[in-house]
Amino acid sequence: MRWVEESIRIRRAAEPVELIEAVKKLRKAFTREEKTRKGLPLELKQKVSLEILQRLHDLGEGSNTTEQQEAVEAWRVGKLKDMRSASSKNLSNFGLSSEDSRMLKRALEFNWQRILEDIGLWIPPTIYHIEHDDKPENEPEDEEIIPGPPLPPECNTELHTDYGGTAVRWGLTHHKESAADCCQACIDQAKRARPGALKCNIWVYCPSEYGCYSPDKYEHKHQECWLKQADHPRLNFKDRYPEPYRDSHPTAPVVVPWMSGVITA
């Protein structure tokens, strides 16, 4: 008998008493949390959902997410205030049973996000994008870099420009390494042209590695160099393609990719 009692004493002494007590406390805490997180009855959720939807509907279609969030929060605060006032005066809370009233009040105070999730309401946050212009006033715009050697003044270079004219040399089969080379090709052609032949006074170059847009049927590639002649040079396009033009030509980019120049004698 003495050995049995000694065995029981040793077993009890070996039990992790503190651990057991900690587990019991955790179980109680989980039980309380589960009670707190217990969802509202379906009928009560529907009532809450209808009231919130009506509040959002009253805002109108032009409301933004900030106004919607404020309206929903105002409904919650107002509902809590009314429920507390009714409770202090021993009045009925909007036709709810005492149990439903207690559950709703507790949910509005502690489980508001859970309610919104349960009724499927999610309003995205408003994100404001503000562009900061840190450039000092009166600072000149950055100049666009043109690959290759610098172009001489007589080239009269114009970026994002496409001049028309009679083709002296087709760019489809006439490529140059740079805009400067294209301009020089125009100057050289004019000097070497036979009497009575067309003399180049307009050069049009494609500097884009992705090619350049044109409304014709051809695919215009990087480094195309068009040599043209016109007694009265006329612009096809400058800077940007007009919106009406882009509406009728869906593949046209916004910015004119070509660069050109009119060489004067």
Distance CA 213, CA 251 (A): 8
Two tokens, residue 4: 């049995």
Place of tokens 């009269």: 156
pLDDT of residue 203: 96
Tokens of 199: 């003399």
Which domain covers residue 39, as residue numbers? 14-118
What contacts 233, CB < 8 A, 6 or more positions away?
Answer: 163, 164, 165, 201, 202, 262
Would you state the pLDDT for residue 182? 96
- Determine if the pTM surpasses 0.85: no
Residues 157 and 242 both lie in one domain: yes
> What digits encode the pLDDT tens for the residues 145-199?
788 899 999 999 999 999 999 999 999 999 999 999 999 999 999 999 999 899 9
Q: Can you read off the two tokens belonging to residue 229?
A: 């002649």
Examine the domain organization and report whether 73 and 165 are in the same domain.
Answer: no
Tens digit of each residue's pLDDT (9 = 90 or more) over 201-243: 999 999 999 999 998 889 999 999 999 999 999 999 999 999 9
Question: What CATH number did the domain enclosing 246 receive?
Answer: 3.50.4
pLDDT in tens, 109-118: 877 787 788 7
What's the structural domain count of the chain?
A: 2
* Residue 8 within any structural domain of the chain: no
**Is residue 166 within 8 Å of residue 264, measured between CB atoms?**
no
Contact 54, 132 (CB under 8 A): no
The reply to whether 175 and 105 lie within a common domain is: no
Same domain, 246 and 201: yes
Mean pLDDT, to the nearest integer, of 88-97?
62
Secondary structure (3-state) at 62: coil
Residue 184 in contact with residue 169, Cβ under 8 Å? no
For residue 78, what pLDDT band results from cuts at 50, 70 and 90?
A: confident
State pLDDT tens for residues 119-134. 777 776 665 556 556 6
**Contact at 8 Å (CB) between 155 and 261?**
yes
